[in-house]
Amino acid sequence: MKRAFSEPKIYTGGADAKSWSKLPKKEQRDALAKDWYVYYSFRDPSTGKLKRQPNIKAGANRYGTKRQRYAHLRTIQRNLTFLLEAGFSPYADNTELEGELFDKRKGAPDKGAIQSIEKQGQQRETIGPKDGDIPIGVTEALEMALSIKKRTLRESSFIKFRSRAKRFGEWVAQRFGSGLNIALLDKRTVMEYLNEVLQRTSARNRNNARADLSSLFQTLEDNEIIAKNVVKGIPQLRTQPKRNKTYSPNLLAEVENLIKENDPLLLLFVRFVSYCFLRPIEVCRLRVRDIDVTDKKLYLRTKTKLDKTKIIPDILLEELPDISRMDPEHFLFTPEGIGGAWDTSEENKRGYFTKRFKVVKEELGLGMEYGLYSFRHTYITQLYRKLAKDHPSFVAKSKLLPITGHSTMDALEKYLRDIDAELPDDYSHLFEK
């Protein structure tokens, strides 16, 4: 009788595994860049001919060395050989085989090997490459996801997003080879990468990397490139956020006087942060057309909303130069002065003014806890404490809410707590006996 199956063999990327140590490094790298798998044929009952069955990888290509991959696939090969000799058939129900033959002889596969091999074939039909197809590599898949995300993210957000995706792709290529199929990445592998990010940087960076990767993998799942977003199940780590410190009254006067004497453009930039309570990057987004001097309004894109309207207080209008004849499409703040073209990213613009302010910090010996954002904290604190002198706390916060631009009272109260704006009255009398 003709044999029902061919002997399971291991494909090692076109290289001879037995003479691996003698191969040139380039051939080794090229081989590891390809998928390794166990393959075999089984006689099709309908035709009586041997038919190539789905390749069995079982996560072998997660390993980055020949030794690890080959050892993993050898185990699969041994298990499959045992099962085939015991009567396993990819065309039949193997339930009875599991109950009768497992663990009855030395060298039997672990319980569940039949289901594992069958599942591998099923997955290959849904998320893996079919015979003759080119697998979707990690780099290619990430680029595909990035091209989609680029249309939904702001420029400043996409730059960081793309950078984190690129670093992850480079890590995967270095660890498992550039040709690793994206469908083979699992939760454990992503966790290993995030743990390395944590050790190298901080919990905050690790959480940011996790969030961006989860968004990318969700895009791949939505477009049926992968079956499941494995990053979604990875929890965030608790972090201790770092915030810019509020200036004391004396320090504030010293900082502003130094800026006034040496950098009038930076002073006006600071005034927008201080009087309109804008974030530095929001000031960088302002164009001439966004400033309505007649109606005393400014229009901006914020962190949470596409468009927002805020009033321009008279104290700021008095310091604003005449912009009526400037090109409406020009940016309000540029390195050369007010109103001009500035073709660079928002991140670079914010970084430019941060560096200008760094000169002031260095002269005064201020640490990294003080920044442009500190002016926003300081002036909101001043405004709240003045309002709280004449009004109950809730009324003061209600008046402050539309000025700061926070979306809810809860958000404002949390912000005030974070910057220590709300302090109790002197409680010395409580210690008196």
> pLDDT by residue (tens digit) across 215-233?
999 998 888 778 889 999 8
Residue 243 is assigned to a structural domain of this protein = no
Beta bridge partners of residue 298, listed in sequence order? 291, 310
Q: Which residue among 205, 222, 239 closes a domain?
A: 222
Handedness of CA 117, 119, 125, 127 (dihedral sign): negative
The angle subtended at Cα 233 by Cα 227 and Cα 234, nearest 5°, is 125
Q: How many domains does the chain have?
A: 3
Residue 432 is assigned to a structural domain of this protein = no
Candidates 182, 142, 133; CA nearest to 162 is 142
Domain identity same for 145 and 76: no
pLDDT of residue 427: 82
pLDDT of residue 318: 93
- In this structure, of 46-55, 218-227, 352-361, the range with the lowest mean pLDDT score is 218-227
Global pTM? 0.55
Question: How are the residues of the chain apportioned to helix, strand and coil, as percentages rounded to the nearest 5?
Answer: 55, 10, 40
Cβ atoms of 261 and 255 within 8 Å: the answer is: no
Domain identity same for 315 and 381: yes
Domain identity same for 272 and 383: yes
State which amino acid sits at residue 79. Answer: N
Residue 233 is assigned to a structural domain of this protein = no
Residue 229 is assigned to a structural domain of this protein = no
Domain identity same for 183 and 325: no
Residue 352 is assigned to a structural domain of this protein = yes
Q: Which residue among 126, 149, 183 closes a domain?
A: 126
Q: Which residue among 187, 222, 257 closes a domain?
A: 222
Residue 337 is assigned to a structural domain of this protein = yes
Mutual angle of helices 409-418 and 373-390, in 10-degree steps: 110
What number is the average pLDDT over the span 321-337?
94
214, pLDDT greater than 90:
yes
Distance of CA 342 to the CA centre of its chain: 28
CA distance 395 to 389: 11
DSSP, collapsed to helix, strand or coil, labels residue 56 as strand
Domain identity same for 201 and 300: no
Domain identity same for 121 and 144: no
Range of the domain at 202: 138-222
122, pLDDT greater than 80:
no
User: For residue 247, with 0-12 CB atoms within 10 Å meaning exposed, 13-18 middle and 19 or more buried, which class applies?
Assistant: buried
The string of DSSP letters for 342-365 reads --S-HHHHHHHHHHHHHHHHHHHT
Report the CATH number that the domain containing residue 365 is assigned in CATH: 1.10.443.10
Beta bridge partners of residue 311, listed in sequence order? 297
Domain identity same for 115 and 156: no
The angle subtended at Cα 37 by Cα 34 and Cα 38, nearest 5°, is 155
Domain identity same for 204 and 272: no
DSSP, collapsed to helix, strand or coil, labels residue 298 as strand
Beta bridge partners of residue 340, listed in sequence order? 331
Cβ atoms of 39 and 56 within 8 Å: the answer is: yes
Domain identity same for 265 and 404: yes
Candidates 411, 337, 334; CA nearest to 380 is 411
pLDDT band of residue 197 (cuts 50, 70, 90) is very high
Residue 21 is assigned to a structural domain of this protein = yes
Domain identity same for 289 and 198: no
Residue in this structure with the two tokens 């900082």, named with its chain if needed? 255
pLDDT band of residue 116 (cuts 50, 70, 90) is low
Domain identity same for 288 and 413: yes
Share of the chain above pLDDT 70, in %: 88
432: left (phi over 0), alpha (psi -120 to 50) or beta: beta
Domain identity same for 161 and 98: no
